Every structure is written in structure tokens, then in C-alpha cells.
Amino acid sequence: MTDKNLEFSVKSGDPEKQRSACLVAGVFEGRKLSSAARRLDEASNGALGAILRRGDLEGKSGQSLLLHNLPGVLCERLLLIGCGKEKEFHENRYRETLAKAAKALQDTGAGDATLYLTELEVRGRDIRWKLRQAVETVEDALYRFDRLKSEKTERRRPLRKLILPVAKRSDLAAGEEAIKQGKAIAAGMSLAKDLGNLPGNICTPAYLAEQAIELGKQYNFKTTVLEQADMEKLGMGALLSVARGSRQPPKLIVLEYHGGHEGEAPIALIGKGLTFDAGGISIKPAANMDEMKYDMCGGASVLGAFKALAQLQLPINVVGVIPSSENLPDGNANKPGDIVTSMSGQTIEILNTDAEGRLILCDALTYTERYHPAAVVDMATLTGACVIALGSHPSGLLSNHDALARELINAGKYAWDRAWQLPLWDDYQKQLDSNFADIANIGGREGGAITAACFLARFAKKFKWAHLDIAGTAWKGGKEKGATGRPVPLLVTFLLQRCQPHAE
């Protein structure tokens, strides 16, 4: 969760005239002052430059220096943040600098701050982009998950207000819109992170369904939860087979947001909601198996995107579909070699029970056909192969429609929640051939992320479809373990650009 009372506002004004508990300015490597820092140095008759010449701050990335009562300026504190080499100050460094500033601000005791980092030039990015990123990055940096700790981490004087300056008064309107978007996306990311970070004994398929229902009530959109009997009537044999090893009943969660014209074809978002994945009979190794609570991050991202689009009241129709279950070993669980019949009628030979995400997604894809969607985007922590291929920076993207793929790639570039396209060639399909069923659920070690998408493609022939493999991006392991809230920024930007094509 983040500090719910953190308020963002946009303002135009000179840094030396700001009556702020803390003003934040950047310094580049070699003690080169940013524009705001130069103004402060002039107002203090060179006092700032003199302090830096003593060697307190070189301007390297990650450095910070807190000063009090600098003469000639009205702010109580001045927080200087190292920005690294000016010629290397691109999008990543801007976000890293913002995150460093946010964390340092929390330790100052200042209740409000004015963040002059938004004035820093990021090549090819305008003030709208910089302010939206400032909101999202600060909220992300301040996020913490302590709901299940007996002692909460309360700060003595938390940051309550953050002012984001713009150079010209004519930028104020664009700045306010950027803050609005940033806050909505940050709220969606926070929800996705909260759900992802909850353990599997709390965040069950039923819990995920309850959260979807509550979200629908809060923002006045329709939520429907299909139970096991409903899925049996629909013939969802693939999805139901995965849930057979669990005592938790499966759920198919359907959200309908009607912001566009009546009858207008919706965008469909499908998210894998596997609330815990032990691998089934093809059980996973014990090391790091706790991280399999994150196997529902696709579903959490759908809920996060819905929260953001509802807050923004976007003029678009969107359907969300979240197939949710657990995948556990049991006497009744799927066995390697079992054959199940999907909702589409296609039969599937289950060669590996740990390739279960595609089994629940294929029935969700078929179910989505009834909405006659303009486009379908599914997101799933689907394959370790995608992590090996791309690491943890971009999500994998595969699509049966080049224009849709380009839309998502461009949305990801703008949101700085990037995706990288992999081929979805028919050449890979033969790896999924089965001697005993229409299709096997795995295609061997080669091109594992691609063959997983090829499997899904067989159930997505009736619409424009794209698949996001978020196995490397939905959560972090190691010391900073936790859900990331991705790809909520990409999804919301995609929806924004769909209904406001000239806004970004």
C-alpha cells in the first residue's frame, strides 16, 4: 500500500521563491548544477556552489545531500539528488532519480516538498510524460506491503504533499491531466501489487472474485462470477481440469465496463488468475516455490487496469475475463498423458501438468468470443522460457495482428512498461502435435515462450489477439521480492490511446 493521503499538484514558479518544507533539485556529475539548482545558487550568492566544491556531492547517480536554511531562498530544506552524466540522462535515469528523491524525502521529516526534477530534460519526452512518470514513480517508490505484519511501519512525519513544477503557465493544464492519469495508473498498480503480494492461503480464487465484485460496486461496473457448475455447463474442460487437484473451487471472473457508445465493440483483457501453482503432478522444485503466489499477477493486472480506467472514466467499452484456480498435486489432479476437451471442442493432451496457465486461458479465450471484441489482450506469468529469453525488463509480446502488436509496443514505450515482440510463426505449431489429441499442451524446450503462445493462438482465431508473457516482469525476486504492478501502465496507456488517439 502507499500513503493514501499523498497529494500531487502542479505549479509554475521560480525555485528560490518557493515556501516549501523541502525543495528537490538535481546535480549532474562533475557538480554541474541543473537549471533550478543554478537559480538557487544565484539566490544564495554562491553558497550552494561553495558547499558542493567542498566535495559533499559529486552528482553521481544515487547520491543525495540534504541542506538546511540555505541563505537567500525561502525553502526550509534543500535536497540535492545526483543525476549522473548529463548526456546519459534518459528515461531510466530520470525514473531512478525520482525514486531516489522519493525515498530520501521520506527520511527528511518534511510534510510537503517541491520536486524540481520535473524540469530536467529527457530527450524526446515532454512535460506531460515527465509529470505522469513522476507520479507513478514516486508512488511506486513509496509503496510498502505490511498488511500482514503485527507492527506497521508508521513514519513520524510522512510526506503529504508533492508539488510538481512546470516551466510555463501554459503547461499547467497538461500537467494537471498528466497527474490525473499518473494517479489512476499508480492506484491500479497498487491494487495489482497488493493482490500479488498476498499469500495463497488468503488470495484464493474466491478472494480474487470478492475483490472484483467490490471493485465493481465501488466504480459502478458489472461483475459476474461463474462457478464450477456454470463452467461445466459451458464445457470448460481445460480450465476445470487444472482445478481438480485443489480444494478451492475455480472461478471465472467477468468484468464489464461501459464507458463507450452502446453497441461499440469492447476491448477484452484476459488475465491468468492462478492463485498458487505448485505444478500439479509435475511438481515444481521446492526452492522459490513461494513465489508461485504471483502466478495470478495477470488477473491482478486486469483488476488494476479496471480500477485505473474507471477512475479516469475513459470513454471506451472494456471486458475483463479472469480464469482463476489453484494447481496442486492430488489424487484427483491432472496426470501427464490425460486428455481433456476444451470449451472450443479441441482436445488437449496434457504432457506436463505445470503447463496449466494455457489450459485455463484457452477456455477464457473461447468464452470471450461472445463479446465480439474489437481486440483481445491476454497477460499471464506463462513461461520461464520468456524470462530466459528476455530477462526481467520487457514483457514478451506475441500477436496474430501486426497493427495491434505495434499499438501495444508503442503504448509500452510511452508508459515505460515495455514489451518485446517474438515471432508467432506457423513453423512452431508442429511442436504441439499430439499422436492422441488435437494438440499437446507443451512443445518441448525450444522456443518455449513462443510455443505457449502458439497454443493460445489456436483458440484466438476469431479476433485480433495479443499475448503478453509477464513471467519476468510481474514480480521481483531476491531481496526486493514483491509484485511490480506491471503491465498495468502499458494496458492503461493502450486504452488511453484507443479512446484518445491524439492525446499521447
Distances in Å between the Cα of 446 and the Cα atoms of 200, 269, 429, 460, 484 are: 31, 28, 12, 23, 28
CA proximity to 76, closest of 23, 16, 12, 11: 23
d(CA 86, CA 80): 15
95 in active site? no
Residue 475's beta-bridge partner residues?
Answer: 483
100, 307, 358, 418: the catalytic one is 358
60, 125, 284, 462: the catalytic one is 284
284 in active site? yes
The DSSP annotation for 352-414 comes to -TT--HHHHHHHHHHHHGGG--SEEEEEE---HHHHHHHTTSSEEEEES-HHHHHHHHHHHHH
Cell of 397: 509480446
Per-residue H/E/C for 428-473: HHHHHCCCCCCEECCCCCCCHHHHHHHHHHCCCCCCCEEEEECCCC
User: Is 158 exposed, middle or buried (CB count within 10 Å of its CB: 0-12, 13-18, 19+)?
Assistant: middle
- Helix, strand, coil percentages for the chain (3-state, nearest 5): 40, 20, 40
Q: Which residues are catalytic?
A: 284, 358
